[in-house]
Amino acid sequence: MIFFNAMQNRPNIALKLHCVPSIPSFHHSIINPLFRERSDKKEGGPAPDLTEEEAEEKSPEEEEYILCRQCHQAITRPAERVTVQGAHHHTFANPHGAVYEIGCFKYAQGCGYAGSPTTEFTWFSGYAWRVSFCTMCLTHLGWVFIASSGDSFHGFILDRLIQPQ
């Protein structure tokens, strides 16, 4: 549906997205830093409730993000790259012969998840997987891999992402 805002003469687009609830252990990690309030803008210094580590971090406007190639939604950050089974970058084929080059990332705030975790045809021993997709455009971005211990990481299809320069 498209609605027009008479005050600004711009279209407002209403989209209905079907989001799949995330795994409960991810709730603490899916906070999107793009939507954090910045209470230090008025006073010029860090807000008193921030820790030193938070105050030293780049503001959301300054941080670099890895984006969905389709819609440019922020998916994760370069700092979230991790090594799994000895490497960050892996090449795998699924049972149908489709080959994927994936990169491993600890957290991703721009993803939704589909399906129940399964160990069928898993690429990482000891991990179940679910499909992950961009919450903005619903493009399949890869998989989230979950161990029975609760440890998890994302395996993103690298050619579906835009890496910062």
The domain segmentation of the chain, as residue ranges, is 59-165
Give the C-alpha separation, 96 to 39, whole Å.
51
Superfamily name with CATH number, domain 59-165: Peptide methionine sulfoxide reductase. (2.170.150.20)
How many Cα neighbours within 13 Å face the side chain of 23? 26
pTM: 0.64
pLDDT tens digits, the chain, 165 residues: what are they? 333 333 334 343 333 333 333 333 333 333 333 333 222 333 333 334 444 454 455 555 567 999 999 999 999 999 999 999 999 999 999 999 999 999 999 999 999 999 999 999 999 999 999 999 999 999 999 999 999 999 999 999 999 999 998
CA 53 to each of CA 46, 57, 66, 75: distance values in angstroms, whole numbers, following the listed order: 11, 6, 22, 23
